[in-house]
C-alpha cells in the first residue's frame, strides 16, 4: 500500500504539525507548515491519527537547520527545524484558536505576540538528568517518550552560555566521583549574581560525598553555590557558597534602579528573564494601575510581580501556597524596602473564599496560576468584585476554560497578549485582561 502524501497546514499546541488524511486530522511530529511529506501512520483514534514522516518530498521554505545535534531525540525542543518568524506566527494562531473554541473569544482580541530577542541561550534554569550507561557518564535530557538519558555532550543551545560552561565543569568532576551511580540530576540556576547548582543524590549523603565536591570547588568554574540534595529531601544540604539566586526586574520609573529579587535553590522562577520583564511591561500596560488601587496577586510566588507593581498602587496582597516561595517574597520585600505589600502562605482557592466571606474587595486581581489553571478560585475571585482581572497563563487550554467561567460571571476578555517565553518549543505564555461591561 502506498504511503499517504500530505501537505502540513499548521502547527498545534503540543508541537505537532497538522494535516488531513481522508478528512481525518493527522498530527505529525517534526513537520513544518508548507511541507509536502509522505507518512507512516503510528496510531489511529476515532477522530484523529498520528504519523511519522517517512520522507520530506518538498520541504517548506520555512524549514531551517536545527542547531542542536540531538534535536529530535531529546525530549526538550520540538521546533528548532522551523524558522522563528513562523514559530511566533503559529503561537499566536494557536492561542487564538484555543480561546475561540474554549471561551468564544474573537480572534481580533488577540494582540500581536511579544517575540523573544534571544531565540537561543535564553534559559536561566535547567535540570539535567544524569545516568551511567555501559560505564559511560551521560548528562542531558530524557529521550522522547522514555526515561533514557540522551547525552547533551555539547551542552544545550537554549541554555544561557554560563550554564553550559558550568555543566562542562561538573561533567569533568563527576567522571571520577566514586558514587556517580547515585547522582540522578543536576539543577543549574544562573542569576545575575552567579550560578548555583543542586546535585540530586538518590543514595545517602555522607560526609565523604560532601568533601569530594568541597575539595574540588576550584574545578567547578562559574559555580558560586553548591548544594547536595538526597531523594525525598525538601531542601538540599549546602556545601559552600551562595544560598540564593537573584535577578533584576524593571521599576515603573526607568530612572530608578532595578529591583533585585531572589529565590532559593530548587525554588520556582521564570526561566527567561528578558521575557519576564517584557511580561511585567504588558501587565503594567493592561492593568493601567492607579495610586488608589488595591491589588490582589494570586499565586504570587516569590513576589515576581507583586514587588515591582507595589509602587503603582496603594496596597498589594500576595497569596501563594508554597511556604518557601512566601519566605522568598518576604525577603524580597525587605530587600527592596517595600512596605505596602502583605504576603500570606495559604491554599489560593481557600484564601480567596475567606476574603470574599469577610467582605473584602480589590480593584485588580492578578492571577498567575500553574498549568492546571485557576478554575477552583474563579467563583470567589468574582465575589471580590474587581474592576479588572489580569490573567497570566502558561497553558492556553486552562486559560480558555477559566475565561469561559469568568465570562459566565460577567467578566469578558478585553485583550489577550501572547508572549514567547520559550523559543524553539510550542510553549507560550499570555497575559489576558478581563473586565465587567
- Whose CA is closest to 433, among 401, 411, 408? 411
Longest CA pairwise span in the chain (Å): 72
Q: Grid coordinates representing 75?
A: 525530549
Return the SS3 of 144: coil
Bridge partner list, 40: 52
Helix boundaries (H) for 273-416:
273-287, 306-309, 323-335, 348-357, 378-383, 396-408
Q: What SS3 string covers 2-68? A: CCCEEECCEECCCCCEEEEECCEEEEECCCCCCCEEEEEEEEECCCEEEEEEEEEEECCCCECCCCC
Name the E strands within 93-154: 125-133, 136-142, 149-151
354 Cβ contact list (under 8 Å, min separation 6): none
Q: Grid coordinates representing 263?
A: 529565590
In angstroms, the CA 337 to CA 41 distance is 60
In angstroms, the CA 266 to CA 254 distance is 31
Known catalytic residues are: 394
In angstroms, the CA 4 to CA 6 distance is 6
Bridge partner list, 56: 37
Q: Can you tell me which residue has the cell 510550542?
A: 426
In angstroms, the CA 106 to CA 149 distance is 43
In angstroms, the CA 225 to CA 127 distance is 16
| DSSP string of 108-124, one letter each residue | GGBPPPB--S-SSS-BS
CB count in 10 Å sphere of residue 401: 18
In angstroms, the CA 183 to CA 128 distance is 11
To the nearest 10°, the Cα dihedral for 81, 84, 87, 91? 150
In angstroms, the CA 234 to CA 228 distance is 11
Amino acid at each position: 500500500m502506498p504511503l499517504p502524501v500530505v501537505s502540513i497546514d499548521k502547527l498545534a499546541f503540543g508541537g505537532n504539525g497538522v494535516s488531513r488524511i481522508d478528512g481525518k486530522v493527522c498530527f505529525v511530529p517534526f513537520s513544518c507548515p508548507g511541507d509536502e511529506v509522505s507518512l507512516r501512520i503510528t496510531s489511529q483514534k476515532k477522530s484523529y491519527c498520528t504519523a511519522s514522516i517517512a520522507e520530506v518530498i518538498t520541504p517548506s521554505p520555512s524549514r531551517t537547520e536545527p542547531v542542536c545535534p540531538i534535536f529530535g531525540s531529546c525530549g526538550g525542543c520540538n521546533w528548532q527545524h522551523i524558522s522563528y518568524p513562523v514559530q511566533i506566527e503559529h503561537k499566536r494562531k494557536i492561542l487564538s484558536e484555543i480561546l475561540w473554541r474554549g471561551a468564544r473569544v474573537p480572534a481580533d482580541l488577540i494582540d500581536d505576540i511579544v517575540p523573544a530577542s534571544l531565540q537561543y541561550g535564553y534559559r536561566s534554569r535547567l535540570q539535567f538528568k544524569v545516568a551511567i550507561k555501559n560505564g559511560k557518564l551521560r548528562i542531558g535530557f530524557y529521550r522522547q517518550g522514555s526515561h533514557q538519558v540522551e547525552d547533551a555532550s555539547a551542552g544545550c543551545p537554549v541554555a544561557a552560555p554560563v550554564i553550559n560552561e558550568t555543566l562542562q565543569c561538573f561533567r569533568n568532576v563527576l567522571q571520577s566521583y566514586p558514587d556517580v551511580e547515585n547522582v540522578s540530576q543536576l539543577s543549574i540556576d544562573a542569576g545575575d549574581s552567579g550560578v548555583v547548582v543542586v546535585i540530586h543524590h538518590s543514595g545517602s549523603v555522607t560526609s565523604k560525598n560532601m568533601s569530594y565536591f568541597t575539595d574540588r570547588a576550584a574545578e567547578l568554574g562559574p559555580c558560586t553555590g553548591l548544594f547536595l540534595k538526597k531523594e525525598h529531601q525538601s531542601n538540599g544540604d549546602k556545601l559552600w557558597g551562595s544560598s540564593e539566586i537573584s535577578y533584576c526586574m524593571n521599576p515603573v520609573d526607568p530612572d530608578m534602579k532595578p529591583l533585585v529579587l531572589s529565590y532559593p535553590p530548587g525554588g520556582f522562577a521564570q526561566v527567561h528573564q528578558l521575557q519576564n520583564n517584557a511580561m511585567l511591561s504588558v501587565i503594567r500596560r493592561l492593568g493601567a494601575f492607579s495610586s488608589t488601587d488595591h491589588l490582589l496577586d494570586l499565586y504570587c510566588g516569590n513576589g515576581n510581580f507583586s514587588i515591582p507593581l507595589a509602587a503603582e498602587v496603594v496596597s498589594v496582597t500576595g497569596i501563594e501556597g508554597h511556604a518557601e516561595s512566601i519566605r522568598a517574597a518576604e525577603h524580597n520585600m525587605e530587600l527592596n524596602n517595600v512596605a505596602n505589600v502583605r504576603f500570606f502562605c495559604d491554599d489560593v482557592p481557600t484564601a480567596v473564599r475567606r476574603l470574599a466571606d469577610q467582605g473584602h474587595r480589590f480593584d485588580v486581581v492578578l492571577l498567575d496560576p500553574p498549568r492546571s489553571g485557576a478554575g477552583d478560585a474563579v467563583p470567589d475571585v468574582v465575589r471580590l468584585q474587581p474592576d479588572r482581572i489580569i490573567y497570566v497563563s502558561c497553558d492556553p487550554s486552562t486559560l480558555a476554560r477559566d475565561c469561559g467561567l469568568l465570562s459566565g460571571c460577567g467578566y469578558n476578555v478585553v485583550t489577550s497578549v501572547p508572549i514567547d517565553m520559550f523559543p524553539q518549543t510550542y510553549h507560550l505564555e499570555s497575559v489576558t485582561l478581563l473586565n465587567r461591561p
